[in-house]
Structure 1
Amino acid sequence: MTEARLAASYVHLLYEYLRGLGLDPHKLLGPLPSGHFVALPTWRAALDLAQALDPRPALSLRLAAGISARHFGVVGFAALACPNLFAALQRLERFHNSVYDVNPAQVELTAQGLCIEWGTARGRPGALVDETALASLVQLTRDFTGRRLAPLQVDFVNPRPLDTSPYLSFFGCPVYFEQPSTRLLLATQDLSLPLRKSDPALLALLDAQAEALLQAVSQVAAPVAAFRLSLVALIREGHTSLDALARAHHLSTRSLQRRLAEQGLSFQALLDGTRRQLAEAYLRSPDLELSEIALLLGFSEQSAFTRAFGQWTGMAPANWRKQHLRDPL
Structure 2
Amino acid sequence: MPQTRLQNAVVPHTYVQLLYEHLAEHQIDAQQLLGEPAPQGMGRFPVLRWRDYLQRASAALDDPLLGLHLGQRITPRHLGILGYVLLACGSVAGALQRLERYHQLIYDVNPMQRVDCGDYIDLCWSAENGRPGALVDETAIAALLQFCRDITNQPGAAPLKVEFINPAPEDVQPYQQWFACPVSFGHSQTRVSISLDLLSTPLRTADPALIEVLEGQARKLLNSLEAPQGQELANIVRQRLVSQLRQGPPSAERIADTLHVSVRHLHRKLAAEGCNFRQLLQQTRQQLAEDYLADPRLQLGEVAALLGFSEQSAFSRAFKNWTQLTPAQYRHKQLDR
Q: Name the TM-score class by shorter chain.
A: 0.7 to 0.9
CA distance in structure 1 between the aligned counterparts of 2:243 and 2:96, rounded to whole angstroms: 21
Q: For residue 287 of structure 1, give the secondary structure of its aligned residue in structure 2.
A: coil
Q: For residue 93 of structure 1, give the secondary structure of its aligned residue in structure 2.
A: helix
| TM-score using structure 1 length | 0.86
Aligned AA (2:282): D
Flag the 1:112–1:215 CA change in 2: closer, same or farther, 3 A: closer
Aligned AA (2:96): L
Flag the 1:266–1:111 CA change in 2: closer, same or farther, 3 A: closer
Structure 2: runs of 5 or more not aligned? 1-5
2:115 to 108, 125, 138: 108
Flag the 1:230–1:201 CA change in 2: closer, same or farther, 3 A: farther
Is the CA contact (8 Å cut-off) linking 2:294 and 2:335 kept in structure 1? yes
Q: For residue 80 of structure 2, give the secondary structure of its aligned residue in structure 1.
A: helix
Q: How does 1:156-167 map to 2 (within 5 A)?
A: 156-167=164-175
The residue that corresponds to 2:3 in the other structure is none
The residue that corresponds to 2:95 in the other structure is 88
CA distance in structure 2 between the aligned counterparts of 1:135 and 1:230, rounded to whole angstroms: 36
Is the CA contact (8 Å cut-off) linking 2:122 and 2:191 kept in structure 1? yes
1:11 to 13, 16, 20: 16
The residue that corresponds to 2:57 in the other structure is 50
Verify: 1:295 aligned to 2:300, yes or no: no
Between the aligned residues of both structures, percent identity stands at: 44
Is the CA contact (8 Å cut-off) linking 2:16 and 2:38 kept in structure 1? no
Shift of residue 247, structure 1, vs aligned partner: 5.7
- CA offsets per residue over residues 246-305 of structure 1, 9 Å max, x none? 565677778866876686543333221111011122223333222111111122222332
The residue that corresponds to 1:194 in the other structure is 202
Which deviates more from structure 2 when the two are superposed, residues 33-42 or residues 126-135? 33-42
Q: What is the RMSD computed on CA atoms of the aligned residues?
A: 2.9
CA distance in structure 1 between the aligned counterparts of 2:260 and 2:215, rounded to whole angstroms: 20
Is the CA contact (8 Å cut-off) linking 1:93 and 1:105 kept in structure 2? yes
| TM-score using structure 2 length | 0.84
Q: For residue 242 of structure 2, give the secondary structure of its aligned residue in structure 1.
A: helix
Is the CA contact (8 Å cut-off) linking 1:26 and 1:32 kept in structure 2? no
CA distance in structure 2 between the aligned counterparts of 1:198 and 1:239, rounded to whole angstroms: 20
Q: For residue 95 of structure 1, give the secondary structure of its aligned residue in structure 2.
A: helix
Verify: 1:310 aligned to 2:320, yes or no: yes
Aligned AA (2:321): Q
Q: For residue 335 of structure 2, give the secondary structure of its aligned residue in structure 1.
A: coil
Is the CA contact (8 Å cut-off) linking 2:7 and 2:48 kept in structure 1? no
Verify: 1:134 aligned to 2:141, yes or no: yes
1:151 to 132, 152, 159: 159
How many pairs align? 326
The residue that corresponds to 1:78 in the other structure is 85
Shift of residue 89, structure 1, vs aligned partner: 0.8
CA distance in structure 1 between the aligned counterparts of 2:211 and 2:149, rounded to whole angstroms: 21
The residue that corresponds to 1:275 in the other structure is 285
Flag the 1:208–1:181 CA change in 2: closer, same or farther, 3 A: same
CA distance in structure 2 between the aligned counterparts of 1:22 and 1:252, rounded to whole angstroms: 62
Is the CA contact (8 Å cut-off) linking 2:77 and 2:210 kept in structure 1? no
Aligned AA (1:181): Q
Is the CA contact (8 Å cut-off) linking 1:207 and 1:232 kept in structure 2? no
Shift of residue 190, structure 1, vs aligned partner: 1.8
CA distance in structure 2 between the aligned counterparts of 1:253 and 1:162, rounded to whole angstroms: 61
CA distance in structure 2 between the aligned counterparts of 1:214 and 1:316, rounded to whole angstroms: 24
2:7 to 2, 5, 14: 2
Is the CA contact (8 Å cut-off) linking 1:214 and 1:278 kept in structure 2? no
Q: For residue 33 of structure 1, give the secondary structure of its aligned residue in structure 2.
A: coil
1:179 to 184, 187, 195: 187
